[in-house]
Every structure is written in C-alpha cells, then in structure tokens.
Amino acid sequence: MSWQTRRLKTILKETKDTVGAHSSDYQLLSLTKGGVIIRDLSTGKGKFPSDFGTYKIVSSGQIIFCLFDIDETPRTVGLSRHNGMITGAYDIFHIKDANPRFIEYYFLSIDDVKGLKPYYTGLRKTVSMDKFLNISLPLPPRNEQDQIVRYLDWKVSQINKLISAKRRQIALLGEQKQAVIYNAVEASEHPKTRTGHLYTSILGKMLQPLKKADTDMLEKYLCAKDVHFAGTNHESI
C-alpha cells in the first residue's frame, strides 16, 4: 500500500463530555511544552476556577489541541497518557485508524513552526473546527506509521540522554566554579605573609652565648635549618 492523503475528519473524532458535578473524581491535566502533565492542586500554584464543571473529560490515548492564540501558546498539541480533565477551551479528539503517536509527532512538527497560520481567523488567531477537520495530511500504511514512531522514539530517547548528560556536566561545572570562588575568598581572608615581614635576618655573625655588658639582651632566634618553604619550625626557639 502507498501513502494516502486523508482529511482529519476521517481520523479524528471530537469528544465533548464534561465532568459536571464530578470534578473531584478526575485529576487535573495541563498541556505544556513537555506534553500533557498532571497538575498538582495541593501546591496552590497557578490560577484555578471556583468550579471545574465545564472541564472536559480526557482519556489516555486521546489528543488535545489548543486552536486559539496559537502564536502565543508555547504548545498547542499533545497526546495524553493520563485519564483526567482539562479546560473546556481545548478540543479533545479520539484517534481512529491511525497510530496516535504518529499523529502527535506530525502535529508537533507543525506546531514547532506554527504551520497552521494559513488557517487563522480573527484577532485571536483561531482555527475554526470546520477548517481544522478539513485539513489534509499524508498518511502511510499503519505498519510504516509504527516503524516511523519507533524510530522517532529511539532518536528522541538518545537526544534526551544527551541533554541529561549536558545538564549534569553544567551542574558539575557550576559546582567547580563555586569551589574556585570559595577558595579564592578563603585565601583573601587568610593571606600569607612573607618571612621578611615578621623576622629580621642577620648574616655573617656568630651567636654570643654569654652577656658581655649589662645592656645585652637575649633575643629569640631561628636558625637557617628551621626555615622551610612550607613554613617555619619554632620548636628550637
């Protein structure tokens, strides 16, 4: 079989079921650059409505689209791996007769370049449902879709490993930088002093073991053997 050109309305079936009074039975989902994630309501971060009744039900394997404010929205498509609910402003679709991951990869590539621009209308850059479902896309046979998805999953996994390694390297370099700064500060707080600033050196003279006059005084002294690069030995003083 060869590749076919299919309209989205033959692949996507919109679902509009809302949670109604049962919102407490569903976990809240969010569409992000990292995909569809579960939101933690306990943190108190972010804005939430007083009533989730109009939020739409999402099942694992369904694809979510944000078809408004597309240029300003970081990510407008994502395949859900979770069951839950999401704002009713988004459009939810069940995928039929196609590999869901293939459809997601296809629209992610379009979203990265904001390729739906020709279909925008209005100030909010909205794509109407009628225009959206009449968009055509090239679709290979299912076995080729599966192969393409496996290859992309493998490549993405490799890239993610490289990103993780680079992040660890950056973290280690950051730690090294902090260590260098700390050591420099410590050195400035405990400066080293030249020996000449603490001692007077007398060369070519012998020690005088006995007093020759009442004005003679015994001074502490170090011999040359007591002075080293690593420091001075004061045991013989």
Q: What is the pLDDT of residues 95-114, one digit of tens each?
A: 999 999 999 999 999 999 99
CA distances from 101 to 1, 34, 81, 90 (A): 20, 15, 11, 19
**Which carries the bigger pLDDT value, residue 206 or residue 233?**
233
**All residues at 6 or more sequence positions from 87 whose CB lies less than 8 Å from its CB, including other chains:** 55, 56
d(CA 170, CA 92): 39
Q: Give the position of tokens 């420099």.
A: 184
Helix (H) or strand (E) holding 94: strand 91-95
pLDDT of residue 103: 97
Mean pLDDT, range 182-197, rounded to an integer: 67
Assigned CATH for 4-140? 3.90.220.20
pLDDT of residue 49: 82
Tens of pLDDT along 17-34? 999 999 999 999 999 999
Mean pLDDT, range 36-51, rounded to an integer: 81
CA distances from 123 to 72, 118, 202, 233 (A): 12, 14, 90, 83
Residue 186 burial (C-beta neighbours within 10 Å; 0-12, 13-18, 19+): exposed
Q: Is the pLDDT of residue 220 over 80?
A: no
**All residues at 6 or more sequence positions from 137 whose CB lies less than 8 Å from its CB, including other chains:** 5, 6, 8, 11, 106
Residue 84 burial (C-beta neighbours within 10 Å; 0-12, 13-18, 19+): buried
Side chain identity at residue 219, one-letter code: E
Closest of 186, 133, 143, 102 to residue 6, by C-alpha:
133
What are residue 28's DSSP bridge partners?
Answer: 85
pLDDT of residue 66: 96
DSSP conformation class of 55: P
Q: What pTM did the predictor assign?
A: 0.70
